Chain A
Amino acid sequence: MSRIIPTTTLKFRGRVAAVAVLCAAAFSLLVVASAFAFSELYANYVENGGYAQSKEAHTFVLNDGAGGEPGTIACQLFNHESGGPNEVTHGNEKCVVGYGGGKYVWARVYNEIGKDETVAGEAFT
């Protein structure tokens, strides 16, 4: 004997299913995003010798740096502890520096272009 389900119940079940699908999709996107953990994009227009710096120190592993025009720049991951990490990489227009020690470090990109210019960086945990 077939069971008769009211139309209102079907609509309710459809909405529940739709919400469940959307929640699953949102969760999947969050999982994908979490694979990249934390990252910070930072930039500053500075004089030669100046730098752009991340807002906070994190357990950054990589720091990518870029200059606004041809010239040398430097990427840095460091903290203020005595004898603490201080990794520096110099490059032309682009630089990359890594730190695998797991400590909280700040990220910087130095302008070594020879004049005022924008430098930017993106650091990743």
Chain B
Amino acid sequence: MNKRKYTLAIVGTLVAITAGAVVAYAGGDTGSTASPVAQLEMHPGPEAFLRAQGVNASQAQPALTLNNGEAVGVIDSGGVRCFTLSVGTHVTGACSSETNIAKGEAIQVHDECSGKNSMAIYGLAPVKAVEVRLENSDGTSESTSVVKGAFSFAGTNPAPGATYPTGVQWLAAGGSSLGTAPLPVSAGQFCLPTS
């Protein structure tokens, strides 16, 4: 093999390696409708759910800080919105369509179950919502404002037999209801065992 062919072979190999690495990390597609399990398997690495939709955490607009210090951001990707969660320098997140956001798919209920017993309910609200009402099992409720498309409530884990949050109501400007959504947790499930 002469010198030119040898050089071309090396350059070609390097280009192929680089392109392969970039495609493998980026995922190579946008707007994935694959199941969440498939999204994890197809996009291994940090921010898998974000990359499955063709976005990355650097696009997030800071929105809220949770009661445990973790930060929530929002990415609007045209028809699909994502929330990000930052823990120190680490970032993750997940995306949902507007239809599924209205159904409550982008709600997360976080419980710190080892002493502080803090609870944070956060997520994305429908586009027209300016306020979110959190409804409890005893009929009481509390409200919070939507900030850049996101919302959060701070509280403590409900003790067994105590009142617990059950769902949210999306409220438009003027107080009219845009619909309701259940929380992704049931009574007695807030904290999980470590055994």
Judge whether A91 and B87 touch: CB under 8 Å. no
Q: Which residues of A contact B90 (CB under 8 A)?
A: 61-62, 98, 124
The complex places the Cα of A121 from the Cα of B92 at a distance, in Å, of: 13
**B88, closest chain A residue (CB):** A100
Q: Which residues of B contact A41 (CB under 8 A)?
A: 40-41, 44
Which residues of A20-77 are within 8 A (CB) of B? 21-22, 25, 29, 32, 36, 39, 41, 43, 61-62, 64, 66-69, 72-74, 76
Complex partner residue of B109 from A25, A89, A98, CB under 8 angstroms: A89
Q: Which residues of B contact A74 (CB under 8 A)?
A: 185, 189, 192
The complex places the Cα of A73 from the Cα of B195 at a distance, in Å, of: 18
Interface residues on chain A, size class: 35 or more
Interface size on B, residues (CB 8 A): 51
Interface residues, chain A, CB within 8 Å of chain B? 10, 14, 18, 21-22, 25, 29, 32, 36, 39, 41, 43, 61-62, 64, 66-69, 72-74, 76, 78-80, 83-100, 108, 110, 112, 118-122, 124
Q: Can you identify 8 A-B contacts, CB atoms within 8 angstroms? A: A21-B10, A21-B14, A66-B35, A66-B40, A83-B114, A98-B90, A112-B189, A120-B36
8 additional A-B residue pairs with CB within 8 Å, beyond A90-B109, A121-B40:
A66-B35, A86-B192, A91-B94, A91-B184, A94-B36, A98-B90, A110-B192, A120-B37
Interface residues, chain B, CB within 8 Å of chain A? 3, 6, 10, 13-14, 17-18, 21, 35-37, 39-41, 44-46, 48-49, 69-70, 85, 87-88, 90, 92-94, 103-115, 183-186, 189-192, 194-195
